[in-house]
Structure 1
Amino acid sequence: MSAPVILLLAMMLDAAFGEPRWLWSRVPHPAVLMGRAVALLDRKLNTKNGGIIAGGAALAILIGGAWFIGWALAHLGGIAQIVIVAILLAQRSLVQHVAAVADGLRISLGDGRRAVAMIVSRDTAQMDQSAVARSAIESAAENLSDGVIAPIFWFLLGGLPGLIVYKAVNTADSMIGYRTPRYERFGKTTARMDDVMNFVPARLTCLLIALPAGVIGMLDEIRKDAAQHRSPNAGWPEAAMARAIGVALAGPRAYDGKMQQFPWVGGAGARTIGAGEIEASIRKLWQAWGMMLGLTILLASLG
């Protein structure tokens, strides 16, 4: 069974069933296991004498282990690979988490804040309705890249080993890739590796959002907005999503009790938004997924 055929079936399986709670309430999700591995490396190698070299060693161990596990699992056969790839994709679960914010906002602002707090790291306690909606839409765009398109890209490029290496690096970046006293040096190599591995997928995600939305002619504006983002990659899908649904994203937000001023993305778009705009972003998630599914069908037919 070719990689595109495996991917095609895995994408449909993930879209249909998502994350079955009955299973992950009984056994740890692979992402949880990856997180435990990162935490162990952090405890063992990130000591007072640690730094960039120790962080590089941790990353090398993580990548080597992930590659070996992927290589071993790939020998289980096509059916097993379909299930594993479906588990490591996150289209349906992403849609469900973002939709929960829209549903929450329709009940009350407090419910919307609680729902968005499940998917963003910024302070949510003082958010107004528009800030809640922006946060959900930004998360939708960024996680479409990180949780769906990038895993697909790396599976097509490197098979199951490539996919698992990507997921391990991305998990590590979410845990140790921060500019804090503890991780400024130790997590730097991991953060840069995550940037490299997301470079192409982020821009591919941008195109997958922009094309069906009819805003591909705004690529120059999208590029300029993306260049202002603190991440070299996240700005691309966010800027495309902003123009696809006609809203302004980013802007001021609070982290750890401190308000920070970030440039607006798609600043000419609407700034007073709510549940309706979140639902519009969900439609764009499915359109982008459909575009990727079409490309996968094409690859499968060529194969």
Structure 2
Amino acid sequence: MTLVAALLLDALFGEPHALWDRWPHPAVLMGRAVAWTDRTLNDRTRLRGVVAVLILVTGAGLLGLFLAALPGPIAEVIVGAILLAQRSLADHVQAVARALRMSIPEGRHAVSMIVGRDTAAMDSPAIARAAIESGAENFSDGVVAPAFWFALGGLPGLLIYKVVNTADSMIGHRTPRHEQFGWAAARLDDLLNLAPARLSALLIWLTHPRSAWGPIIAEARLHRSPNAGWPEAAMARALDVALSGPRAYHGEMRDYPWVHPQGRRTIGPAEIAASVRVLWQAWAILLAVAVLLAL
């Protein structure tokens, strides 16, 4: 029942900002560990990148074993709740809807807090698409994947997943400095997210199972990521909106294919708010599954 308790604790209270104003968040500590490996080991080779990942995974696993060995389930529940992100995810996406209702510039600023693409020239539909896509993708790697690995491997599994995911976000990029060194982190993150991404798509699809599953599979495979396309394709059909499509990164336009291209393209705050409701509905199904597994 530790996973159930952690899911509920996160959903009820989210991030205790007063605590993180005084102490570094565990994700921040993981980021510092990844940055240390980047500073000390990065000679732009795959071998050193593999060593870095082994150090991070071993450290996270040992820390998880230590915390799990503490008396009672309190440590597991608290750490699990901290590393699940349903409440903060829903709040951040909903904030974009509120800001966009006020003005497009405020919507651009709000969405820039949760996406990596260029936001300066976005219109209302582009802001909405970015927020909805970010919500769907982060539901997978911020909620379902941590819950999945927590259920399978306890705190060691959860901490290993989170440190690998953090490493991928920091060094898993195709830049001159990280293309080789970050290869192991990126590939391991892809592997750890294979099952959770597809489970996330299923959970989202179950909230509105009016569309066929086949098109979701087909469109997910068109995505540049082996995993992110799954929850995104499911969310597009749950809302009947078109997602993805052309967007700019670092001043360069990229012609990505549309997901569910026949869906509505003129979207705004209402569709963002609807996506948040879908995220909570999918979370409720995940909670029900966790309860059944616990019983």
**Shorter chain as normaliser: what TM range?**
over 0.9
Match of 1:260 among 254, 257, 270: 254
Match for residue 14 of structure 1?
Answer: 10
TM-score (norm 1): 0.96
CA distance in 1, matches of 2:246, 2:68: 45
Q: RMSD of the TM alignment (CA)? A: 0.7
Query: Residues 241-260 of structure 1: matches in 2 within 5 Å?
Result: 241-260=235-254
Residues in 2 aligned to 1:242 and 1:55: alpha-carbon distance in whole angstroms: 36
1:32 is matched with 28
Matched residue SS, 1:259: strand
Q: What count of residue pairs does the alignment treat as equivalent?
A: 294
Q: 2:79 aligns with which of 84, 89, 101?
A: 84
User: 5+ residue gaps in structure 1?
Assistant: none
Aligned to 1:118: 113
**Letter aligned with residue 268 of structure 1:** Q
Q: Is 1:199 paired with 2:194?
A: yes
Structure 1 residue 89: Cα displacement: 0.3
State the partner residue of 2:212: 218
2:275 paired residue number: 281
**How far, CA to CA, are the matches of 1:278 and 1:6 in structure 2?**
31
Tell me how far 1:212 sits from its aligned partner.
2.0
Deviation at 1:183, TM superposition (A): 0.8
Q: Give the Cα separation in 2 of the matches to 1:133 and 1:71.
A: 41
Alignment of 1:122-161 (within 5 A): 122-161=117-156
With structure 2 as the length reference, what TM-score do the two structures score?
Answer: 0.99
**Residue 64 (structure 1) shift:** 0.4
SS of equivalent residue, structure 2 residue 248 = strand
- Give percent identity, aligned residues only: 61
SS at match of 1:280: helix
Which of 76, 94, 103 lines up with 1:108 in the alignment? 103
Q: Following TM superposition, by how much is the alpha carbon of 1:288 offset from its aligned partner in structure 2, in angstroms?
A: 0.6
User: Matches of 1:168 and 1:80 in 2, distance apart?
Assistant: 18
Q: Match for 2:2: what amino acid?
A: I
> Within 2, Cα distance between the matches of 1:293 and 1:65?
29
Instruction: Tell me if 1:45 matches 2:41.
Output: yes
Q: How does 1:231-242 map to 2 (within 5 A)?
A: 231-242=225-236
Deviations 1:227-259 (A, max 9, x none): 110000000000000000010000000000011
Query: Which one-letter code corresponds to 2:291 in the other structure?
Result: I
Alignment partner of 2:221: what SS?
helix
Provide structure 2 residue ranges, at least 5 long, that are not aligned to the other structure.
Answer: none
Q: Which residue of 2 aligns with 1:58?
A: 52
